C-alpha cells in the first residue's frame, strides 16, 4: 500500500470520483487534510465513501484570521477528528505580517489540543520552520508530519532530532532543493505526499491525481539510490511506526497492517 500523507480531496469537485477510483485501484492510503470548517465537513463525506481516506481537521494558516476570534467553536470538531491538520504557519506566501499573530494563535490552540488529546499533527511550515520547531518543543508534540519541507537544512536536522516525520511530494521531480532534502531525511522519518490536487497544479499547471504518488516514490528512489519497492515499503513501515500507539488510529493501523 502507498501512503499519501497530505492531500486536499475536498478540492476535487468534478474529478473526485476519478480520484477515489485511483485511490482504490492504486491502493493509496490518503490523509485528507482540511483548510477550514467547510473543507473538513466535505472531507468527512468523502471519507465515508472510501475507507482508504482519513479525514483530519485543521485550520490552514491562510484561513487563520477568519477563525482566530472564535476558536472555542472549533473544539468539538477538534475532539472528533482523529488527527490534526492542516495547521501551521506561513510567513513566506502570506506577505501581510499583520496576519502572523492570528496564525500563531490558531496554531497554538490546535497544538495545545493535540498535546492534550494525544493526536498526530500535519504541519505547514513555509518560511516559519524555526518557529514551528520551537512550538513543537514547547507543546511537546511527539508525533508530527512536516509537509513539503523546503526550509534550511539545520532546522530540518533539528526537527529530525526532535522526532518529526517529513513528507516529500511531487516537487522532488522538479527541484534540486527538494531533491537535497529528500536525500537528507533519514530512512526512518521519510513519508510521501501529493498535496493533491493543487500541488502539481502549482508546479506544472496540471491537476494532481492520486496515482502521482507512484512518481513521487520513483523520484525518491532515484535520489536515494534505492528502488521504488524499497522506498514504498519503508514509507509504509514508517507510517505504521508513527501511529503505533495512537489511541485514535487503531482502525487505520489494522487497515495498514493487513496490506
Ligand atoms: Zn496542503
Residue 203 has pLDDT above 90, yes or no: no
Task: Spell out the long-range contacts of 207-211 with Cβ–Cβ below 8 A and sequence spacing 24 or more.
Answer: 207/15, 208/170, 209/15, 209/18, 209/19, 209/22, 210/4, 210/7, 210/19, 210/22, 210/23, 210/26, 210/28, 210/30, 211/22, 211/26, 211/28
Q: Enumerate residues with CB within 5 Å of ligand 1 (an ion).
A: 86, 195
Convert the pLDDT of each residue in 212-229 to its tens digit: 999 999 999 999 999 999
Q: Is-contact 80 108, C-beta < 8 A?
A: no
Q: Separation of 8 CA from ligand 1 center, angstroms?
A: 6
- Chain-wide mean pLDDT for the chain? 96
CA–CA separation, 69 vs 145, rounded Å?
27
pLDDT value of position 29: 98
Residue 198 has pLDDT above 80, yes or no: yes
Q: Is-contact 238 189, C-beta < 8 A?
A: yes
CA–CA separation, 101 vs 88, rounded Å?
12
Q: Separation of 114 CA from ligand 1 center, angstroms?
A: 18
pLDDT value of position 205: 82
Residue 142 has pLDDT above 90, yes or no: no
Convert the pLDDT of each residue in 12-41 to its tens digit: 989 999 999 999 999 999 999 999 999 999
Residue 201 has pLDDT above 80, yes or no: no
What is this structure's pTM? 0.96
Q: Separation of 195 CA from ligand 1 center, angstroms?
A: 5
Higher-confidence position of 125 and 258: 125
Residue 258 has pLDDT above 90, yes or no: no
Q: What is the average pLDDT across 92-115? A: 97
Q: What is the average pLDDT across 54-72? A: 97
Q: Separation of 6 CA from ligand 1 center, angstroms?
A: 6
Convert the pLDDT of each residue in 145-171 to its tens digit: 999 999 999 999 999 999 999 999 999
Nearest CA among 121, 170, 177, 109 for reference residue 146: 121
Q: Separation of 140 CA from ligand 1 center, angstroms?
A: 23
Amino acid at each position: 500500500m502507498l501512503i499519501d500523507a497530505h492531500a486536499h480531496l475536498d478540492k476535487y469537485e468534478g474529478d473526485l470520483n476519478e480520484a477515489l477510483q485511483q485511490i482504490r485501484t492504486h491502493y493509496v492510503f490518503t490523509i485528507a487534510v482540511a483548510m477550514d470548517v467547510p473543507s473538513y465537513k466535505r472531507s468527512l463525506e468523502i471519507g465515508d465513501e472510501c475507507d482508504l481516506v482519513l479525514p483530519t481537521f485543521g485550520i490552514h494558516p491562510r484561513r487563520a484570521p477568519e477563525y482566530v476570534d472564535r476558536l472555542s467553536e472549533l473544539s468539538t470538531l477538534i475532539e472528533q477528528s482523529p488527527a490534526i491538520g492542516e495547521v501551521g504557519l506561513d510567513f513566506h506566501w502570506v506577505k501581510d505580517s499583520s496576519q502572523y499573530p492570528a496564525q500563531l494563535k490558531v496554531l497554538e490552540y490546535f497544538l495545545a489540543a493535540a498535546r492534550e488529546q494525544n493526536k498526530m499533527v500535519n504541519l505547514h511550515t513555509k518560511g516559519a520552520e524555526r518557529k514551528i520547531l520551537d512550538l513543537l518543543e514547547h507543546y511537546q508534540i511527539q508525533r508530527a508530519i512536516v509537509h513539503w519541507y523546503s526550509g534550511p537544512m539545520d532546522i530540518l536536522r533539528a526537527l529530525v532530532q526532535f522526532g518529526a516525520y517529513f513528507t516529500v511530494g511531487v516537487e522532488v521531480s522538479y527541484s534540486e532543493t527538494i531533491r537535497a532534502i529528500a536525500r537528507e531525511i533519514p530512512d526512518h522519518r521519510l513519508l510521501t505526499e501529493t498535496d493533491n490536487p493543487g500541488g502539481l497544479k502549482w508546479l506544472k499547471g496540471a491537476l494532481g491525481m492520486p496515482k502521482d504518488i507512484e512518481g513521487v516514490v520513483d523520484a525518491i528512489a532515484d535520489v536515494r539510490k534505492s528502488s521504488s519497492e524499497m522506498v514504498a515499503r519503508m514509507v509504509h513501515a514508517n507510517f505504521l511506526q508513527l501511529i503505533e500507539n495512537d489511541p485514535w488510529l487503531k482502525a487505520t493501523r489494522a487497515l495498514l497492517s493487513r496490506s
